[in-house]
């Protein structure tokens, strides 16, 4: 009795063979999906086999092939007399198809085992996903800091045609030390973006963000910063270092510095002080009335300009307004090229004000600061968080004199912008900190882009410059 029950349980746990065959059959048909660039090469291979046989036949003057055809004809004739052709024909045909599919499946399986050992997903699914990403919109994101890397983490699941244009004005922490001691451009923001766009993001982020806790001269440095500094020294400049690192790390998209010039930020405060250095601006705790950089008008990276010219969608932010977003726009050609493009363009506003930079700022104040810094109207819409953070988060932020960015809609309209409300916030219940949720943010932005793009393609409206 117990043995019978065990047998029943065993059979119940076994996967349904019909289901498994159906799944396998479905995987075979996936190879016929458009855009894989596989069918044409299989067909070309088949033509090659036929031409090879034809060439062999011509070479040997058809003598062996003639006898082989005769023998085959006699065999088939005798077979047809025993088994009718309407039975033997389909039977042999099905056998042939079975061997073709079996051989192809085993071939693909062998290739998959070598290229993706231990992977659970099928090679065809990987190829379909790869092709889908490569057909994604060409997106340019301008900014820096953790806000930019958060957004990239979400966008990379929808498109592989992403260009992150990153500020190189950082002069604090590990980046600042490497900049002063080694004469390299600060790698911190670039490191974060590379990690966010990498295929193996979790492991790579942990590795790149690892900070040495001991060692003469190593303490406080992150592995990612040292890696990029070494690559810069080996390859000759930061641009080549990023390109080489992107290949090594299988980065989806590209990360570009806004300029290769050694840029230093300065800010004039309302109390008359002039503050030099990106890290010092926030620490000054004053109201910023003007911001600039030394040298003035730094030259852009040509690849960054090219990416903007080819972009289907341009996003500014999120990130620290004066030390992450605006520094990129102090490169005049970058701001000018963004202003020229007649494509959907949007600014992602921060959820909370930042002490020392945007104390008391509304959404309209953020827009005015960007307009004033570059003297141009760069975007038509602004995305803002709709739902307020919890009381716990508000209390936590109020201790640091930080508050939700107020949406003053009438003033935003006066500035010629439309408001896109969305719930894109992620709240840490333990610490009370709020951040943009990378998945929600990417979904909302791409939904908005699709909506505007369809309307502009239909001639209903044209994205404002």
Find where tokens 């903007």 sit: 308
Least confident window among 189-193, 251-255, 306-310, 458-462: 458-462
The answer to whether residues 388 and 406 touch, using CB atoms and an 8 Å cutoff, is no
Tell me: pLDDT of 271 over 50: yes
Tell me: pLDDT of 405 over 90: yes
Q: How far apart are CA 346 and CA 383, in angstroms?
A: 7
Q: In which band, very low, low, confident or very high, does the pLDDT at 65 lie, cut at 50, 70 and 90?
A: low
335 compared with 174, residue with greater pLDDT: 335
Q: What angle do CA 374, 378, 382 make, to 5 degrees?
A: 120
Tell me the CA distances in angstroms from 315 to 141, 148, 416, one per residue in order: 5, 10, 17
What pLDDT, in 10s, does the model give residues 100-153?
777 767 666 666 665 566 555 666 666 666 677 788 899 999 999 889 999 999
End-to-end CA distance of the chain, in Å? 79
463 compared with 198, residue with greater pLDDT: 198
Task: Give pLDDT, residue 28.
Answer: 54
Instruction: Look up residue 245 and give its two tokens.
Output: 């690192």
Task: Give pLDDT, residue 444.
Answer: 97
Task: Give pLDDT, residue 237.
Answer: 84
Least confident window among 92-106, 305-319, 394-408, 430-444: 92-106
Helix axes 332-340, 363-374, angle to 10 degrees: 110
Q: How far apart are CA 170 and CA 258, in angstroms?
A: 13
123 compared with 449, residue with greater pLDDT: 449
Q: How far apart are CA 76 and CA 202, in angstroms?
A: 61
Q: What are the start-end ranges of the H helices in 277-351?
A: 278-283, 302-310, 326-329, 332-340
Task: Please state, for a pLDDT cut of 70, what percent of the chain lies above it.
Answer: 81
What is the average per-residue pLDDT within 156-183? 88
Task: Give pLDDT, residue 111.
Answer: 64
41 compared with 395, residue with greater pLDDT: 395
Tell me: pLDDT of 21 over 90: no
What is the average per-residue pLDDT within 71-91? 76
Least confident window among 8-12, 299-303, 374-378: 8-12
CB under 8 Å, gap of 24 or more: what pairs does 103-107 form? 104/28, 105/24, 105/28
What pLDDT, in 10s, does the model give residues 305-327?
999 999 999 999 999 999 999 99
Nearest residue to 288 (alpha-carbon basis) of 307, 274, 309? 274
Task: Give pLDDT, residue 147.
Answer: 92
Task: Give pLDDT, residue 92.
Answer: 75
204 compared with 415, residue with greater pLDDT: 415
Find where tokens 């950089």 sit: 293
Q: Give the domain ranges of the chain.
A: 38-106, 138-167+258-458
Q: How far apart are CA 201 and CA 192, in angstroms?
A: 10
Task: Give pLDDT, residue 179.
Answer: 82
What pLDDT, in 10s, does the model give residues 412-435?
999 999 999 999 999 988 888 999
Q: What fold is seen in the domain 138-167+258-458? A: Rossmann fold (3.40.50)
391 compared with 109, residue with greater pLDDT: 391
């Amino acid at each position: 009795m117990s043995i019978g029950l065990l047998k029943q349980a065993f059979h119940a746990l076994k996967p349904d063979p019909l289901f498994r065959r159906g799944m396998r059959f479905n995987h075979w048909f996936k190879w016929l999906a458009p855009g894989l660039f596989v069918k044409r090469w299989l067909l070309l291979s088949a033509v090659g086999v036929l031409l090879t046989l034809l060439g062999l036949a011509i070479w040997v003057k058809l003598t062996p092939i003639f006898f082989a055809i005769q023998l085959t004809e006699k065999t088939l004739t005798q077979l047809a007399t025993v088994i009718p052709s309407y039975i033997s024909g389909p039977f042999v045909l099905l056998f042939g198809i079975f061997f073709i599919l079996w051989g192809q499946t085993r071939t693909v399986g062998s290739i998959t085992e070598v290229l993706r050992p231990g992977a659970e997903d099928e090679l065809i699914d990987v190829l379909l996903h790869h092709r889908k990403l490569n057909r994604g919109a060409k997106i340019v994101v301008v900014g820096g800091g953790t806000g930019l890397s958060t957004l990239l983490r979400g966008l990379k699941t929808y498109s592989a045609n992403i260009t992150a244009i990153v500020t190189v004005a950082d002069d604090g922490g590990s980046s600042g030390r490497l900049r002063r001691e080694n004469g390299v451009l600060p790698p911190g923001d670039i490191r974060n973006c590379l990690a966010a766009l990498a295929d193996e993001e979790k492991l790579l982020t942990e590795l790149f963000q690892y900070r040495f806790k001991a060692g003469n001269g190593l303490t406080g440095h992150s592995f990612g910063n040292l890696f990029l500094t070494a690559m810069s020294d080996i390859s000759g400049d930061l641009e080549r270092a990023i390109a080489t690192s992107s290949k090594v790390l299988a980065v989806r998209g590209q990360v570009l510095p806004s300029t290769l010039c050694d840029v230093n930020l300065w800010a004039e405060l309302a109390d008359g002080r002039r503050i030099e250095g990106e890290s010092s601006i926030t620490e000054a705790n004053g109201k910023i009335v003007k911001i600039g950089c030394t040298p003035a008008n730094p030259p852009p990276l040509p690849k960054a300009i090219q990416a903007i010219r080819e972009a289907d969608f341009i996003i500014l932010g999120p990130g620290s307004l004066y030390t992450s977003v605006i520094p990129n726009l102090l490169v005049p050609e970058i701001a000018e090229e963004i202003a020229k493009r007649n494509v959907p363009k949007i600014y992602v506003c921060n959820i909370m004000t930042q002490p020392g930079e945007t104390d008391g700022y509304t959404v309209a104040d953020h827009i005015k600061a960007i307009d004033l810094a570059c003297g141009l109207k760069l975007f038509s819409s602004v995305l803002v968080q709709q739902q307020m953070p919890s009381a716990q988060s508000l209390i936590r932020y109020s201790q640091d004199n930080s508050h939700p960015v107020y949406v003053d809609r009438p003033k935003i309209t006066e500035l010629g912008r439309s408001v896109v409300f969305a719930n894109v916030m992620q709240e840490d219940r333990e610490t009370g900190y709020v951040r943009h949720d990378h998945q929600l943010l990417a979904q909302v932005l791409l939904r908005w882009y699709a909506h505007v793009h369809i309307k502009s393609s239909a001639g209903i409206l044209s994205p404002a410059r």
